[in-house]
Structure 1
Amino acid sequence: MFPLSTPGPSRIYAATRHLHRSKLFKSVGREARFDRLHPRQVRSSSTRTFPSRVTRWGKRIGIGLSIGGVGYLLDKDFNASAISRSLRTAAVGVICTVDYKINFSPSKAEAIDALHERVAKRLRWVVDVNQGLYLKLGQALGLQAALLPKPYREAFGHVFDRAPSVPYSEVEGVFRRDLSLSPTDVFFSFSHEPLASASIAQVHKAALKPLEGETEGRIVAVKVQKPAIEKQMEWDLMSYRSLMWLMEKLFDLPSDAKYVSTQMRAEVSFIHEASNARRCAELLAQTPELREDVYVPRVYGKSEGCVESDRIMVMEWIDGCRLNDKAQLEAWKLNLREVMDLAISTMSAMTFSWGFVHCDPHPGNILVRPHPTKRGKPQIILIDHGLYIPLPEKFRQDYCTLWRSLFVLDVPKIEEIARGWGIALDANMFASAILLRPFQVVKNKSVISEKPLSAYEQQVELKRRFKTMLENEALIPREIIFLTRCQRMMQANNQILGSPSARVNLTAKWAAKSYTALSSRSIYSVGLSQWLKDRLNNALFTFTLSLVDLAFWFTRAKQRFSPWSNGEGWEDRLQAQLGTMAREEFGIEIDDTVFIG
Structure 2
Amino acid sequence: MQRWQKRLLSTVALGSTIYLIDKYINHSVLERSTRTLYNALVIAADYKLNYDENNLESASKLHSRVSQRMFNVCIKNGGLYIKFGQQIASVDVLPAQYHIFRKLYDDAPSVDYDEVKKLFLEETGKEPLEMFTSFSENAIASASIAQVHKATLPDGTEVAVKVQKPQIASQLNWDLRIHRVVLWLQEMLFDIPLVWMTDYLHEHFRQETNFINEGRNAERAAMDLAKVNDLAEKVYIPKVYWEYTTPRILTCEWIDGTKFNALDDLKQKRFNLTDLMKTCVDVFANQIFKTGFIHADPHPGNILVRWNPKNSEKYQLVLLDHGLYVQSTESFRRDYCLFWKSLFTYDIDSLQSVATKWGIGNVQLFASVTLQKPWKPGKSLLINSKSNAPEVAEMASMMKQKLKSFLTTSELLPKELIFVGRNLNLVRSNNRLYGSPVNRIKIMAIHAVEGLGNDWKIWMPWRKEIIENDRPDQWIDWIVARINYSIFNCSLFLASISFYVNRIWQNLSKLITGKEGEGFEAIIDQRIKEASGQFGIQIEASAFDG
Q: TM-score, normalised by structure 2?
A: 0.86
Residue 178 of structure 1 pairs with residue 123 of structure 2: yes
Residue 229 of structure 1 pairs with residue 229 of structure 2: no
Residue 588 of structure 1 pairs with residue 529 of structure 2: no
Q: Which moved more, 1:276-285 or 1:573-582?
A: 573-582
> Are the equivalent residues in 2 in contact too, given 1:462–1:587 (CA < 8 A)?
no
The residue that corresponds to 1:39 in the other structure is none
Q: Which moved more, 1:165-174 or 1:60-69?
A: 60-69
Distance between the aligned counterparts of 2:320 and 2:202, measured in 1?
Answer: 22
SS of the aligned residue for 2:148 comes to: strand
Residue 365 of structure 1 pairs with residue 315 of structure 2: no
Distance between the aligned counterparts of 2:270 and 2:46, measured in 1?
Answer: 54
Q: Which moved more, 1:252-261 or 1:270-279?
A: 252-261
The residue that corresponds to 1:286 in the other structure is 227
> Are the equivalent residues in 2 in contact too, given 1:301–1:308 (CA < 8 A)?
yes
The residue that corresponds to 1:25 in the other structure is none
Q: TM-score, normalised by structure 1?
A: 0.79
Work out which of the residue numbers 277, 280, 293 in structure 1 matches 2:218. Answer: 277
The residue that corresponds to 1:35 in the other structure is none
Q: What's the CA shift for 1:120?
A: 3.9
Work out which of the residue numbers 22, 26, 31 in structure 2 matches 1:75. Answer: 22
SS of the aligned residue for 1:290 comes to: helix
Q: Which runs of 5+ in 1 are unaligned?
A: 1-51, 211-216, 447-457
The residue that corresponds to 1:503 in the other structure is 440
Q: What's the CA shift for 1:557?
A: 1.9
After superposition, give the CA deviation of every residue in 1:333-358 in whole Å (9 maximum; x if it has no partner): 11111100111100000000100000
Q: What's the CA shift for 1:485?
A: 1.5
Q: Which moved more, 1:254-263 or 1:127-136?
A: 254-263
Distance between the aligned counterparts of 1:117 and 1:64, measured in 2?
Answer: 38
Q: Aligned in 2, Cα 1:60/1:591: closer, same or farther, shift over 3 Å?
A: same
Work out which of the residue numbers 384, 387, 398 in structure 1 matches 2:321. Answer: 384
1:416-435 to structure 2, matched below 5 A, reads 416-425=353-362, 427=364, 429-435=365-371
SS of the aligned residue for 2:323 comes to: coil
Q: What's the CA shift for 1:326?
A: 1.2
Instruction: Give the aligned residue type for 2:521.
Output: E
After superposition, give the CA deviation of every residue in 1:511-567 in whole Å (9 maximum; x if it has no partner): 111123588659996744333322211111111111111121222222123325743
Q: Which moved more, 1:218-227 or 1:511-520?
A: 511-520
Residue 437 of structure 1 pairs with residue 387 of structure 2: no
Q: What's the CA shift for 1:504?
A: 1.0
The residue that corresponds to 1:16 in the other structure is none
**Max Rg structure:** 1
1:40-189 to structure 2, matched below 5 A, reads 55-97=2-44, 99=46, 114=61, 117-139=64-86, 150=95, 153-154=98-99, 156-189=101-134
Q: What's the CA shift for 1:582?
A: 5.5
The residue that corresponds to 2:393 in the other structure is none
Distance between the aligned counterparts of 1:522 and 1:467, measured in 2?
Answer: 34
The residue that corresponds to 1:484 in the other structure is 421
Instruction: Give the aligned residue type for 1:387.
Output: L
> Are the equivalent residues in 2 in contact too, given 1:422–1:475 (CA < 8 A)?
yes
Distance between the aligned counterparts of 1:73 and 1:558, measured in 2?
Answer: 62
> Are the equivalent residues in 2 in contact too, given 1:407–1:541 (CA < 8 A)?
yes
The residue that corresponds to 1:346 in the other structure is 283
How many residue pairs get matched?
Answer: 518
Q: What's the CA shift for 1:405?
A: 0.8
Distance between the aligned counterparts of 2:92 and 2:16, measured in 1?
Answer: 40
Instruction: Give the aligned residue type for 1:259.
Output: Y
The residue that corresponds to 2:391 in the other structure is none
After superposition, give the CA deviation of every residue in 1:213-271 in whole Å (9 maximum; x if it has no partner): xxxx1000000000010111101111111122222233344431221111101100000
Q: What's the CA shift for 1:70?
A: 1.1
SS of the aligned residue for 1:192 comes to: coil
Instruction: Give the aligned residue type for 1:538.
Output: Y
The residue that corresponds to 1:47 in the other structure is none
Distance between the aligned counterparts of 2:290 and 2:117, measured in 1?
Answer: 42
Q: Aligned in 2, Cα 1:594/1:470: closer, same or farther, shift over 3 Å?
A: closer
Q: Aligned in 2, Cα 1:462/1:501: closer, same or farther, shift over 3 Å?
A: closer
- Identity value in percent: 38
The residue that corresponds to 1:560 in the other structure is 507
Q: What's the CA shift for 1:127?
A: 1.3
Q: Which runs of 5+ in 2 are unaligned?
A: 380-386, 388-395, 461-465
Distance between the aligned counterparts of 2:496 and 2:52, measured in 1?
Answer: 48
The residue that corresponds to 2:136 in the other structure is 191
Q: Aligned in 2, Cα 1:519/1:86: closer, same or farther, shift over 3 Å?
A: farther
> Are the equivalent residues in 2 in contact too, given 1:322–1:367 (CA < 8 A)?
yes
SS of the aligned residue for 1:376 comes to: strand
Residue 494 of structure 1 pairs with residue 431 of structure 2: yes
